[in-house]
Amino acid sequence: LPQYTRGTVTAFAPFDARADAEALRKAMKGIGTDEETVLTILATRNNAQRQEIASAFKTLFGRDLVDDLKSELTGKFETLMVSLMRPAYIFDAHALKHAIKGAGTNEKVLTEILASRTPAEVQNIKQVYQQEYEANLEDKITGETSGHFQRLLVVLLQANRDPDVGVDEALVEQDAQVLFRAGELKWGTDEEKFITILGTRSVSHLRRVFDKYMTISGFQIEETIDRETSGDLEKLLLAVVKCIRSVPAYFAETLYYSMKGAGTDDDTLIRVMVSRSEVDLLDIRREFRKNFAKSLYQMIQKDTSGDYRKALLLLCGGDDD
């Protein structure tokens, strides 16, 4: 998988896994927990280092660090700390597993992960899912979803998006016309055309198609999707379009809406902050500041509290004035 360099969390130096393990044990031993120590260590070490700390913790004390965190912490703060401890390679597979288990499927999680991950990342998720859960991710998803929503998820799961190698203007024109005829010009929408084109063409090709679509129709493609489709399919199509335009902008918007208005969607806030902290959270912060007239840091500060807030702000890594 690619080495990302736009994260807010990087390898901590000087790093001493044993010293960190000892500090964590001391913080959780006896009556009461020193949450400050726990969050300061876990939010400022990168995932690879957290795995080393867990290994040192077991070596030194014969205890499982994650089990101890679960028994000592509670609520959203516990969820955040345990999420930070999940090995990076398994994070998405685990999130998908929990999105499709039991009663009701969490379509939001399926949409967010499958719309935003690169083809290489999706291939990795499928392999890890098979290894860890001895189940086929595609089978699990098709068993819990239906209709055009299911079909677009399956297309994205194939991870066969065309590589970015130069753009053929004639094909751009053709795709834009096909989408225009399938949406705005059709009574009822030809969803299949949207699924095939948005699910398989290269990123640079689609960016040009969106420009051309605007020229032909006078509408942004998002406006057409909004008008012509509904429900889970609409949300997935919009997520795919937004991620084609800019993955960091998509996540900035996702974070904004997780906190906007009454109540906070903490599951989404935690999932995005943790999963992007070593990938592109610096870029997400920049898009957030540009698009929402306040910084991500300020919004987290206003919308959360306590140790949970302290840990999120450490992951955020700074303000953007």
Instruction: Quick: pLDDT tens for 47-66.
Output: 999 999 999 999 999 999 99
Q: What is the structure's pLDDT at 105?
A: 81
- On the question of pLDDT at 2 being above 80, the answer is no
Instruction: Quick: pLDDT tens for 94-125.
Output: 999 999 976 678 999 999 999 999 999 999 99
- On the question of pLDDT at 188 being above 90, the answer is no
Average pLDDT over residues 185-199: 90
Residue 74 has phi, psi (to 5 degrees) of -140, 165
How many Å apart are CA 171 and CA 225, to the nearest integer? 21
Superfamily, domain 247-316 = Annexin (1.10.220.10)
Largest CA distance in the chain: 70
Pinpoint the residues of the chain covered by CATH 1.10.220.10: 17-85, 88-158, 169-245, 247-316
Q: Could you name the CATH architecture of 17-85? A: Orthogonal Bundle (1.10)
How many Å apart are CA 96 and CA 170, to the nearest integer? 38
The domain defined by 88-158 folds into: Annexin V; domain 1 (1.10.220)
Q: What is the structure's pLDDT at 30?
A: 87
Q: What is the structure's pLDDT at 102?
A: 67
Q: Based on the number of CB atoms within 10 Å of its own CB, is 261 exposed (0-12), middle (13-18) or buried (19 or more)? A: exposed
Determine whether domain 169-245 maps to CATH 3.40.50.12170: no
Q: What is the structure's pLDDT at 319?
A: 93
Can you read off the two tokens belonging to residue 280? 């592109």
Residue 121's alpha-carbon distances to 28, 124, 125, in angstroms, are 36, 5, 6
Q: How many CB atoms lie within 10 A of CB 32?
A: 9
Q: Based on the number of CB atoms within 10 Å of its own CB, is 268 exposed (0-12), middle (13-18) or buried (19 or more)? A: middle
How many Å apart are CA 98 and CA 46, to the nearest integer? 24
Instruction: Quick: pLDDT tens for 255-265.
Output: 999 999 888 99
Q: What is the structure's pLDDT at 261?
A: 84
DSSP state of 162: P
Global pTM? 0.95
Residue 301, SS3?
A: helix
Q: Quickly tell me which residue has 């969490």 as its tokens.
A: 106
Can you read off the two tokens belonging to residue 42? 């876990």
Taking the CA atoms of residue 230, residue 231, residue 234 and residue 239 in that order, the dihedral angle to the nearest 10 degrees is: 160
